[in-house]
Amino acid sequence: MSKFLDPDTPITSLILPPRKKETVQLPPRKVSIITPSSSIITLQHAAEISSWIDRCSTIYDVTEIPYEFKLLLKGSKDGFTGGIFHRICDNIPGTVIVIKINSTNEILGGYNPLIWKF
């Protein structure tokens, strides 16, 4: 208001201007195709999950997946308990969880971009 009343007076406000969010452009992935090390998801699944993470309206082509999927835990090898899950997967950002229901072909999952510290 004081700026409008006296335009030559400098503004002395404790309120900071709004921050500008920088968008980070990831470098293009090498041409080689990444095969997921999972027996549950395919390359097509990885492309679709990647497009969900980036909130794209179209699904990525399998040759243009911008993420590398690395298997951290395999229940049949590491175990199925919550303690094992948290020991291996906690504090790892950008985690995609994929679970296959044993008696069906259903695949459930989720994505967490954050690091959880308890």
pLDDT in tens, 7-18: 787 777 777 777
Percentage of the chain modeled with pLDDT above 70 = 78
Q: Residue 96 pLDDT > 60, yes or no?
A: yes
- 24-68: per-residue pLDDT in tens? 666 665 544 555 667 788 888 889 998 988 888 999 998 888 888
What's residue 63's pLDDT?
A: 86
Report whether 59 contacts 48 (CB < 8 A).
yes
CA 47 vs CA 68, 75, 84, 99, 118: distances in Å: 10, 23, 28, 17, 32
Asked if the model's pLDDT at residue 112 lies above 50, the reply is yes
